[in-house]
Every structure is written in structure tokens, then in C-alpha cells.
């Protein structure tokens, strides 16, 4: 059979490889050896046969490639990723291109390439399909795994702190959430192995957050603490010193969107600011407070939406963005995230549509995630 004909024939049935999400823990020395042998092959036909044999061995639970019971070093892959890399080699039209992919696969096993601010291995970047890189986030539903709950009115979806900590921190880094609420950021920090400090003004929410956080295991033995205090007046340096830390590597801010939701009667609460101007002044004070304890060249995340008052759209998000940028931060990205409907709006969907048509406005369906880098 000609090489051209073989190229177009399926080598396995569609279900041969089992679950694509399965994690493979392969004997690294054996895997490296068989891939290195592929480097000496100079025929596409022979290389495709070799790749077919590797696939067969990957799928055979009794093959020595799958045997790591004696504590040997393993190469850990999702099956979907490894099979797709092998397919790319087989599907190449030229031996030069195929050998380029062989070399890339070998490098993904033997070398770890990361940047200074996260644990993402760039030699295996295709595996990180859970990490967003676009500026439009359409999240169908909030993560409700474990103790996460939407019961606290105004809390943000867990996907936001998850994404930000994956992109902008490493395991063991320090994260500060200046508006801890029900502890969403702290729950994610604990799961991801990030030391996470939250500040929350309302004592009842502090206790609620602590209960939720303590309900999940602290697998990485990191510091997770919720402090009942005013985020604009707390001594952040003293808090960090208590745990032997001097600075944080990421700050996450999800303030009230001015007075859209009244969270308390406390005058220190941003939702009780008497005016937009005072709200922005308070936010500026907060940025001034956290600036000294955020490492240079590290990131601040601001999650905020706009406001509609007396027939006028108030660009609260961009106004707050400007306050941050006045204080030594450069703007790296603006992410638009779809807004979850509140239960009240879901129950009055048609009424809101009528109001929009009659009033000449558009219904809020988005919020902003502003990403800043400290200069």
C-alpha cells in the first residue's frame, strides 16, 4: 500500500483510546527512549508506524511504559494532549515537519519552561485549556463545586480568582483580597496552594467565610485568613508580618458597585458613599494603602461594573480604572465578563425589557475585569 494511501486510513477505532480526560503517568525513561528513537527515522511511512506503536503501548495498561510501581520518575500527561501531539506528528506532510514535532514533544517531557509569575509550563501550553486568554468571558454558570455558593448577594464567580491566580501567581505566593465577602477568593487560594489574606468589614460575613473555608481541606498547608477590618485603614504590613511575609504578589479587588447593593449601614462601607466622587476617593485611598505591600511588576485585579442613575449611564468602571492608573499602575487588559442575572431580574425579565424599550437604555449584562501591573 502506498504511503499516500496509508496516510488517509484510520489507524484505530474512534473509541480505542478510552477517556480523553484520563491522566497518564508514564515511565519517563522508557517514553524518552522510544521518542528519541523516532528522531533517527527518515521516512514518513516508518515514522507513522512508530507513532502507531507508541499509541498502542500508551493504551495498554500492561505495557512497561505504564509501569511506574517501583517509584521511577514519571511523565504525566492528559491522554487527550499526548494523543493529539502524536497525531500531529503522524499527520505531517513532510519528514522535516514531523521531526520538528518529535523534537517539541521530547522537549515537553524533559524541559520545564515557565515565566517568573506563574507555574504554567510553556513547553506544554496546549494542556492549559482551562485557562482563558481572550478578553471576552462568557461564563454560562458559576462554579458551584465544594463549598462555593451564590447565596451571598454580590459575590463574584469563583472562575475570576481561579483564572487570575493561575495566570499571575505561583504555588506559595501571597494573594490579598480587599473585599473578602463570603470568601470566594480564599477558597480558591486554598485549593490552588496560594497563601491568601482577605479583609471584610462585616463581622457576620467573616464568620460565614471562615466556616466555608474550614469545610475544605488545606492540602498545601497554606495561610488562609479572613480579617474583620476596614480595608482602607488596616495595617497590611503588620498583617503580613504576623505570618512572616513582607509583601503580596497579587491583589484582587471586587468592591461594591457604589450603592447598587447596600451591604451594611456602616459609613466605612463603600456602598454607603454619599456620592460617586466620594466612592472614587475611597477607592483611591485603598489603592494607596495596598501599593507599598504589592511587589513591583506584579498585578492588581479590579472587578467592577457601571451604574445607571436618573436616565444616565455612569461609567463607574472606567472612572475607578482611572483612579488606579493615577497611582503607579499601568493597564494591561480590560476583560468584559457577562453578568449573571439576579433572581429578581430573572423573575421580571419581560418587565425589564419593556423598561429598556420605553426608556431608551440597554440592560446591564456585563461587568469589567481590569488588570493592572505595578510599575
Task: Please indicate whether residue 204 or residue 156 has the higher confidence score (pLDDT).
Answer: 204
In a domain, 129, yes or no: no
How many secondary structure helices (H) and strands (E) does the chain include?
A: 13, 12
* Among the ranges given (4-13, 271-280, 315-324), the one the predictor scored with the smallest mean pLDDT: 4-13
In a domain, 154, yes or no: yes
The closest alpha carbon to 105, from 84, 120, 119, belongs to 84
The closest alpha carbon to 224, from 254, 256, 184, 253, belongs to 184
The pLDDT value given to residue 71: 75
> Is pLDDT at 154 greater than 90 in this prediction?
no
Task: Give the percent of the chain with pLDDT over 90.
Answer: 70
- Give one DSSP letter per residue of 305-347, joined into a string: --EEETTEEE-HHHHHHHHHHTTTEEEEEEEEEEPPPPHHHHH
> Is pLDDT at 341 greater than 70 in this prediction?
no
Q: Is residue 105 domain-shared with residue 208, that is, in the same domain? A: no
Report the alpha-carbon angle 319-322-327, nearest 5: 140
The pLDDT value given to residue 67: 82
Q: Is residue 186 domain-shared with residue 275, that is, in the same domain? A: yes
Q: What are phi and psi of 366, to 5 degrees?
A: -150, 160
In a domain, 322, yes or no: yes
Q: Is residue 152 domain-shared with residue 78, that is, in the same domain? A: no
The pLDDT value given to residue 19: 64
What is the number of alpha carbons within 13 Å of residue 364 lying toward its C-beta?
21
Q: Is residue 47 domain-shared with residue 179, that is, in the same domain? A: no
Q: Which of 111, 127, 144 is the last residue of a domain?
A: 111
In a domain, 124, yes or no: no
Terminal CA-to-CA distance of the chain, rounded, Å?
63
* Among the ranges given (3-7, 48-52, 198-202), the one the predictor scored with the smallest mean pLDDT: 3-7
Q: Is residue 144 domain-shared with residue 106, that is, in the same domain? A: no
In a domain, 117, yes or no: no
Q: Is residue 147 domain-shared with residue 93, that is, in the same domain? A: no
Rg, Å, the chain Cα set? 26
| Enclosing domain of residue 169 | 136-374
Which whole number is the average pLDDT over 325-354? 84
The pLDDT value given to residue 2: 46
Confidence of residue 202 (pLDDT cuts 50, 70, 90): confident
Q: Is residue 102 domain-shared with residue 245, that is, in the same domain? A: no
The pLDDT value given to residue 270: 78
> Is pLDDT at 320 greater than 90 in this prediction?
yes
Mean pLDDT of the chain: 89
Q: Is residue 97 domain-shared with residue 219, that is, in the same domain? A: no
CATH number, position 186: 3.40.50.150
Task: Please indicate whether residue 344 or residue 331 has the higher confidence score (pLDDT).
Answer: 331
The pLDDT value given to residue 125: 94
Task: Give the percent of the chain with pLDDT over 70.
Answer: 87
Q: Is residue 107 domain-shared with residue 143, that is, in the same domain? A: no
Confidence of residue 173 (pLDDT cuts 50, 70, 90): very high
pLDDT digits 0-9 by tens, 110-128:
999 999 999 999 999 999 9
Q: Is residue 175 domain-shared with residue 268, that is, in the same domain? A: yes
pLDDT digits 0-9 by tens, 207-244:
999 999 999 999 999 999 999 999 999 999 999 999 99
Which whole number is the average pLDDT over 238-266? 84
The closest alpha carbon to 38, from 108, 120, 95, 111, belongs to 95
The pLDDT value given to residue 1: 43
- Classify residue 298 as exposed, middle or buried by CB count within 10 Å of its CB (0-12, 13-18, 19+): buried
pLDDT digits 0-9 by tens, 67-94:
877 778 999 999 999 999 999 999 999 9
> Is pLDDT at 195 greater than 90 in this prediction?
yes
Between β-strands 329-338 and 136-137, what pairing exists: parallel, antiparallel or unpaired?
parallel
In a domain, 94, yes or no: yes
Q: Is residue 84 domain-shared with residue 151, that is, in the same domain? A: no
The closest alpha carbon to 48, from 13, 18, 4, 16, belongs to 4
In a domain, 304, yes or no: yes
CB within 8 A of 322, min separation 6: which ones? none
Count: domains in the chain: 2
The pLDDT value given to residue 18: 55
Q: Is residue 92 domain-shared with residue 194, that is, in the same domain? A: no
pLDDT digits 0-9 by tens, 11-20:
444 444 556 5
Confidence of residue 9 (pLDDT cuts 50, 70, 90): very low
> Is pLDDT at 175 greater than 90 in this prediction?
yes
In a domain, 125, yes or no: no
Amino acid at each position: 500500500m502506498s504511503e499516500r494511501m496509508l496516510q488517509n486510513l484510520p489507524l484505530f477505532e474512534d473509541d480505542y483510546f478510552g477517556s480523553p480526560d484520563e491522566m497518564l503517568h508514564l515511565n519517563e525513561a522508557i517514553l524518552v527512549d522510544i521518542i528519541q528513537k523516532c528522531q533517527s527515522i527518515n521516512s514518513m511511512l516508518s515514522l507513522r508506524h512508530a507513532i502507531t506503536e507508541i499509541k498502542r503501548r500508551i493504551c495498554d495498561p500492561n505495557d512497561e511504559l505504564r509501569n511506574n510501581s517501583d517509584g521511577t520518575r514519571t511523565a504525566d500527561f492528559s491522554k487527550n494532549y499526548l494523543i493529539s501531539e502524536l497525531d500531529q506528528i503522524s499527520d505531517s506532510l513532510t519528514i522535516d515537519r514531523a521531526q520538528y514535532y518529535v523534537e517539541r514533544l521530547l522537549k515537553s517531557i524533559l524541559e520545564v519552561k515557565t515565566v517568573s509569575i506563574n507555574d504554567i509550563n510553556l513547553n506544554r501550553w496546549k494542556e492549559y485549556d482551562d485557562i482563558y486568554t481572550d478578553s471576552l468571558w462568557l461564563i454560562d454558570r458559576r462554579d458551584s463545586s465544594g463549598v462555593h455558593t451564590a447565596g451571598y448577594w454580590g459575590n463574584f464567580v469563583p472562575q475570576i480568582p481561579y483564572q487570575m491566580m493561575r495566570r499571575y501567581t505561583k504555588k506559595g505566593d501571597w494573594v490579598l483580597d480587599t473585599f473578602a465577602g463570603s470568601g470566594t477568593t480564599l477558597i480558591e487560594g486554598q485549593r490552588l496552594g496560594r497563601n491568601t489574606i482577605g479583609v471584610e468589614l462585616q463581622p457576620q460575613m467573616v464568620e460565614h467565610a471562615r466556616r466555608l473555608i474550614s469545610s475544605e481541606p488545606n492540602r498545601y498547608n497554606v495561610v488562609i485568613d479572613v480579617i474583620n477590618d476596614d480595608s482602607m485603614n488596616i495595617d497590611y504590613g503588620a498583617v503580613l508580618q504576623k505570618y512572616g511575609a513582607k509583601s503580596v504578589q497579587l491583589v484582587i479587588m471586587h468592591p461594591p458597585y457604589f450603592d447598587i447593593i447596600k451591604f451594611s449601614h456602616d459609613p466605612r462601607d463603600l456602598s454607603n458613599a454619599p456620592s460617586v466622587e466620594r466612592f472614587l476617593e475611597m477607592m483611591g485611598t485603598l489603592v494607596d494603602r495596598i501599593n507599598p505591600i504589592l511587589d513591583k511588576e506584579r498585578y492588581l485585579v479590579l472587578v467592577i461594573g457601571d451604574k445607571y442613575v436618573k436616565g444616565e449611564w455612569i461609567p463607574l468602571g472606567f472612572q475607578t480604572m482611572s483612579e488606579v492608573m493615577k497611582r503607579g499602575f499601568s493597564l494591561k487588559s480590560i476583560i468584559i465578563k457577562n453578568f449573571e442575572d439576579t433572581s429578581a431580574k430573572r423573575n421580571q425579565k419581560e418587565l425589564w425589557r419593556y423598561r429598556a424599550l420605553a426608556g431608551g437604555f440597554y440592560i446591564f449584562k456585563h461587568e469589567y475585569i481590569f488588570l493592572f501591573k505595578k510599575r
